[in-house]
Structure 1
Amino acid sequence: MTHGIQPPAQIPLFPIRGCILLPGEHLPLNVFEPRYLNMVDDAMAGDRYLGIVQPSNSGPREKPELCSIGCAGVIASRNETEDGRYLIVLQGVIRFDISAEAEPLTPYRVAHADYARFGGDLTPQALSPEVDRESFLSLLARFFDHMGLDADWESLAQAPVSTIADKVAMAAPFDADAKQALLEAVDPPARIATLASMMSLTLDASGDPPR
């Protein structure tokens, strides 16, 4: 990999439906299942990398099939609660394709990760001129109002559109398939366009007219 970042060729997987991690963003997690407590311990003793991936709707419940693309993150912090849970924060680094799953030598799943398609995740990317900040923020305000969500609009006014879009993509209450589409968007402009389309569809379905 470039830029001195060397994510592991084999990465422990934390499958969570309806949850994505994007490069550069932070994801707080409450870890309580024994196999995932074991996974966090192993990661902390090694390179601190975990892979967030969504399960699909197929396969056995105890080992469902997984979406083919996830995101590698580094454990930025870990705190243990009195009842033995871990509260961790993952910092997203780079997306990956799951080329195959490794032989099960641990109670948690491990993937052979291929990062080749996602080298751009490691480099800040300029937005194209077609990204209209004012229109996007206006749509976002309508969507938040419709969903009953709060936002620090003063801070958002100062943030890059790509950062705003990534935070909304991770936090907004879209279904698992929509979340995966946002994760798989090829670059920030594509993710912004995908998110804008999803917000518009939600508003159109609700009968909220454009303003």
Structure 2
Amino acid sequence: MNARERLIVGLDVPTLGEAEQIVSTLGDDIVFFKIGYQLVFAGGLEFARDLAQSGKKIFLDMKLLDIDNTVASGVENIVKMGMSMLTLHAYPKAMKAAVEAAKGSELCLLGVTVLTSMDEQDLIAAGYEYDPHTLVLRRAEQALLAGMGGVVCSAEESAAVRKIVGPGMAIVTPGIRPAGSERGDQKRVMTPADALKAGSSHLVVARPIVKAPDPKEAARAILAEMEAAL
């Protein structure tokens, strides 16, 4: 894969109008977009389907978690939408149900290990007995055993996760920040070049591109950094 196939631009904006403008501005430079809760609840599902039909790749970031039958039913319909990637929380039963539902399709299922906005104190407050690194590795191993297409983790854990899942699974890393950019609410971040060198296969970048004065130039700079690293 080249840099264009590895860079996923997060359409983390409140309205369809803004999302459409970003996609138009970025043009052919960007082929992969992430659509999450914010845009989904503003009509983003139809937009995601339209983008997929136009030839773009869509990472639907829904972080599904429910009883097995509900997860499976949701995944079956998402397959029909033509999405390229879908997230669900990396709970073993949910992952197994999703894998069975997506069997035979091209949908890449991603297990979310630990959110990049969470650190050790956040996990303790949530009742977990593991530190972030340990929990990420445990869930990565469970995702591998379940037959998932990949995992979502911080780039800080990419190298360790790659040793567990091997070369075949996707490692998608949010919390990517070019040198000099603000962290925002992310606590475990890394630059694009360092993330690729650590073992990440796909990088999710939102604010550094969509909030930039010139989104197209910001995207091209990140792509250039990625190409140099590759």
Q: Name the TM-score, length of structure 1 as normaliser.
A: 0.25
Higher relative contact order (CA 8 A, sep 6+): 1
Larger helix percent: 2
If you compute each CA radius of gyration, which structure gives the higher value, 1 or 2? 1
Q: Name the TM-score, length of structure 2 as normaliser.
A: 0.24
